[in-house]
Amino acid sequence: MRRPRQSLQMLGSLLAALAIAALAIAVVTAHFGPTSTAKLEAREERLEK
């Protein structure tokens, strides 16, 4: 297999890093759920009042 041009390799490896970062953000934020903790706490406080 012939290696792609160096500029393409650079672009590809940087895009891979960006994809890894985006995947990590997606997985962790999905774990948190759609509502932030601050909003949940504020809602709990309102309900308590």
Residues that bind another protein (CB under 8 A): 1, 3-4, 6, 9-10, 12-14, 16-17, 20-21, 23-25, 27-29, 31-32, 36-38
CB 12 within 8 A of CB 4: yes
Beta carbon nearer to another protein, 27 or 47: 27
Residue closer to another protein (CB basis): 37 or 49: 37
Q: Smallest distance, Å, CB 41 to another protein? A: 8
Q: How many helices (H) and strands (E) are present in the chain, helices listed first?
A: 2, 0
Q: Are 19 and 25 in contact (CB under 8 A)?
A: no
